[in-house]
Amino acid sequence: MHDKTITEIVGALDAGTISSRELTQDLLGRIDRLDGQLNSFITVTAEQALSAADQADQQRANGQAGPLTGVPLAIKDIFCTQGVKTSCGSKMLDNFVAPYDATVVSKLRAAGTVSLGKTNMDEFAMGSSNENSFYGPVKNPWDLTAVPGGSSGGSAAAVAAGLVPAALGTDTGGSIRQPAAFCGITGLKPTYGRVSRYGMIAYASSLDQGGPMARSAADCALLLNTIAGHDARDSTSIARGVPDYSEELDAPLAGLKIGLPREYFGDGLDADVETAIRDAIKVFESLGASVREVSLPHTSYAIPAYYVIAPAEASSNLSRYDGVRFGHRCDNPSDLIDLYKRSRAEGFGDEVKRRILIGTHTLSEGFFDAYYKKAQQVRRLIRQDFLGAFEEVDVLMGPATPTPAFDLGATKDPVSMYLQDIYTIAINLAGIPGISVPAGFSGKRPVGLQILGTHFSEARLLNVAHQFQQATDWHLRRPEIAEENA
């Protein structure tokens, strides 16, 4: 069952060919055997998982099963989970056992899902390769010498390797879509505010958004049905009705207008990635869609704007880690300032410190207008680019990443690493939704097609992605590590 979709698993649970306990035991065994090579989990919660599986089996026996009852999954370690270590990939929170559940965790728990544990991630979600975790790098299941992408790389690797059918991730500048592309799975970043951020450890509050990562668009729709919706505990959550995201999956694509941003097909795009994306576009044309070129003229300013806004927000959000109330505290501080400074210096890793320093500098007296205000003005221009494009076309398509997964340790300087997110980052600045779906390979490393829509167009994106997955089999391919250890 380890390579099945949620839909298939629910079918098997309904038919009684397997119980949730048997499935959970099987996947826990796979984690035990395989995760030593992948490092995709920070914490495995076997005991709680088996207990939840038993409850799910009981609910099913009582005729009380919902669409996700008994389905195993994993949760990025950025989501607070009551009674379970919630580290956010950081030494700072290595001793933190969350006293409450994030809203999405509560919703998944109420839906009867079975969490197998917390997945590895770049520290405080800062990274594009998953090499910044206090718990060590995650390996790409398709090629153990490659990165899985970041910062939701643990979630992506766990799904790709058949350790879980689905996982939760978060996306601040591409952290769901980029690892989904690198690991050959489907990942959806919803519209900003569509999914509650309550209990999701904050990196950059105006950009962070949680979302599903799974083997298919249909599975992402099932998960989004459960986790989307207004939350009074999150003041950035949008009060708007949640449609049934599974309902429109089968709608035909005839008449769909696709825009190809010319800025997404220029210098720096790997030839294999471009070939895969252009081949994918032909599939959509064969399904009745029309294609035209569009322009997003401020695309090249997205990364500079992001690296002002995100570190500025991070420097504020991470000020709460001061050694006083929770998290790491240094030994024998001489006074309160020493407590703050040494606890933070010992608890944070290099990339986090770098971004705190940038954010603090750009917000400091004399620099605010030149950096922060300017970046916020550019952010508006980037948003206008997208809204203008969506007046002409229904969706935008392009590569999720400029290259396939790169080698572990290969990208040394921060600016080169930041450029990995060139096609994903603007979407967060604009708050629109985006999905990455498997669309081919470069050698043995997967390529992701990114599909973008206007605000709250998740149902349309899932429909478009699902129709692509009905016409292709890229999402059905599995890495050797998953097959050899079946």
Catalytic: which of 19, 175, 216, 457? 175
Residue 98 φ/ψ, nearest 5 degrees: -65, 135
96 binds another protein (CB under 8 A): yes
For the chain, count helices (H), then strands (E): 17, 11
Nearer to another protein, 238 or 258 (CB): 238
* Tokens of residue 173, six digits: 């500048």
Q: State the minimum distance, in angstroms, from the CB of residue 452 to another protein.
A: 14
Per-residue b/e over 405-418, b at no fewer than 16 CB within 10 Å? bbebeebeeeeebb
The helix/strand/coil state of 474 is: helix
Is 442 in the active site? Answer: no
Task: Provide the mask over 415-444, with x wherever binding to another protein is found by CB under 8 A and - wherever it is not.
Answer: x--x---------xxxx-------------
Pick the catalytic residue from 129, 151, 152, 246: 151
What's the min distance (Å) between Cβ of 314 and another protein? Answer: 10
The residues with which 395 forms a beta bridge, in sequence order, are: 258
Active site residue 76: yes
Q: Does 78 bind another protein (CB under 8 A)?
A: no
The answer to the question of residue 55 lying near another protein (CB under 8 A) is: no
The stretch near another protein (CB under 8 A) out of 46-54, 116-124, 260-268, 302-310 is: 302-310
Nearer to another protein, 172 or 216 (CB): 172
- The answer to whether residues 203 and 176 touch, using CB atoms and an 8 Å cutoff, is no
Among positions 47, 267, 391, 413, the unique one binding another protein when judged by CB under 8 A: 413
Tell which one of 367, 407, 409, 443 touches another protein (CB under 8 A): 367
Query: Counting contacts by CB under 8 A, is residue 236 touching another protein?
Result: yes
Strand pairing class (114-119; 72-76): parallel
The letter for the amino acid at 363 is L
Active site residue 295: no
Question: Could you say which residues in the range 193-222 bind another protein, by CB under 8 A?
Answer: 193, 206-207
* Least Cβ distance, residue 279 to another protein (angstroms): 32
Which span sits near another protein by CB under 8 A: 39-47, 144-152, 272-280, 409-417? 409-417
Binding to another protein by CB under 8 A, coded x per residue (else -) over 326-365, reads: x--x---xxxxxxxxxx-xx--x----xx-xxx-xxx-x-
Count of residues engaged in binding another protein, rule: CB under 8 A = 73
Cβ atoms within 10 Å of 236's Cβ, excluding its own: 14
Q: Which is nearer to another protein, 146 or 429 (CB)?
A: 429
CA distance 145 to 298: 35
Q: Which long-range contacts (CB under 8 A, 24 or more apart) does 342-349 make?
A: 344/92, 346/91, 347/90, 347/91, 347/92, 347/321, 347/323, 348/90, 348/91, 348/92, 348/123, 348/318, 348/321, 349/90, 349/91, 349/123, 349/132, 349/134
Contact present, 138 and 179 (Cβ < 8 Å): no
| Of positions 298, 445, 460, 466, contacts another protein by CB under 8 A | 298
List the interface residues with another protein, window 443-472 (CB under 8 A). 455
Token readout for 440 is: 């081919």
Q: Hey, which residues are catalytic here?
A: 76, 151, 175
